[in-house]
Amino acid sequence: MSALRALAAAAALALPLAAAAQEKLLNLYSARHYQTDEALYANFTKATGIRINRIDADDAGILARLKSEGSSSPADVILLVDAARLWRGEADGLFQPVKSALLDQRIPATLRGEDKGQGPSWYGFSTRARVIVYNKVGVKRDDVDTYEELADPKNKGKVCTRSGSHPYNLSLFGAVLQHLGEPATEKWLKGVVDNMARPPKGGDTDQIKAVASGECQIGVTNTYYLARMMRSNNPDDRAVVEKVGVVFPNQSTWGTHVNIAGAGVAKNAPNRAAAVQFLEYLASDSAQTYFADGNNEWPAVGAVRSANPALAALGDFKAETIPVSVIGMNQAKVQQMLDRVGYK
């Protein structure tokens, strides 16, 4: 009898172990920290049965962790929120190429990593524009309708930004470098420093508030920070928005700088099939709508249209068309320029 009990106990123990062994899993290293993304992930699990085990950190922390873990890393998908950071991960060999007809059909070529014949190493899934905000009382719109005018002497003492070395600014400056060339870009950066109302500090939301309060008159921000305030139920946020104007710069020349959130399959992904399936899910209409409605970003898939009122209020604009991978490649030169001109 005791032998039968032992067999039964062993069988009972084996059942959950077998279930665990058969569980479909995706290990996601994510730099996105937006609560609205929870529904995005939940819907993927509901549709596929693949459970997401998410590791959250900032982009730099994720890249450092991947390097430390090396070939033993459990990461399947790496999700980052800036072109320069995606390029750095690619340059460090942290991604593996992916060939997917669906992704190639859905995601524009300018929003992908380099393809050396085996497929891109990452894809962009949402976009945000880096725009200029200005105080409606103190500044004329025509005086800030290009990035170049951030360095114009007419705007001396009016400009505020976050740190020049923050990846959002490094990507913008990398784009300017691509358009203007090295000598002109360094001269431009020196002019921006000369025009600052105060040393760089805070995040993009802080720049918007500083422009509204009069601490400075001109700031630079990613659109989703502004759209978030436009949709806020907080009266203080709405009051700030009423005081600032927004410009999509360089509409008559190369277009407004656009940055991305993107993802790739980790080099040593243990669950590669699930990882590719997740990337393809991020390009679906439903996921693209989450990016727009949940975090006020534009879908990378052009055919997807959002009902987000803030994005609708911002309106259409001409975006630059240089590959985002090129922007990332320029960041080292830009950082050297920032050091030389004293852009903190």
Cβ atoms of residues 224 and 217 within 8 Å: no
Question: Tens of pLDDT along 242-267?
Answer: 999 999 999 999 999 999 999 999 99
pLDDT 10s per residue in the chain (344 long)?
A: 444 444 444 444 444 434 444 679 999 999 987 777 888 999 999 999 999 999 999 888 999 999 999 999 999 999 999 888 898 899 999 999 999 999 999 999 989 998 989 999 999 999 999 999 999 999 999 999 999 999 999 999 999 999 999 989 999 999 999 999 999 999 999 999 999 999 999 999 999 999 999 999 999 999 999 999 999 999 999 999 999 999 999 999 999 999 999 999 999 999 999 999 999 999 999 999 998 988 899 999 988 877 899 999 999 999 999 887 788 889 899 999 999 999 99
Task: Indicate yes or no: pTM above 0.75.
Answer: yes
CA distance linking residue 244 with residue 176, whole number of Å = 24
Q: Strand 218-222 relative to strand 51-56: parallel, antiparallel, unpaired? A: unpaired
Domains of the chain: 25-126+258-312 (3.40.190.10), 128-257+324-341 (3.40.190.10)
Cα–Cα distance, 26 to 317 (Å, whole number) = 37
| 167-180 and 331-341 helices, crossing angle to 10° | 100
Q: What is the pLDDT of residue 112?
A: 92
Task: Locate 3 and state its tokens.
Answer: 């032998």
- In 3D space, the residue among 330, 314, 318, 174 whose CA is nearest the CA of residue 253 turns out to be 318
How confident is the model at residue 307, as a pLDDT? 80
DSSP letter for each residue of 313-336:
HH---PBP-S-HHHHHHTHHHHHH
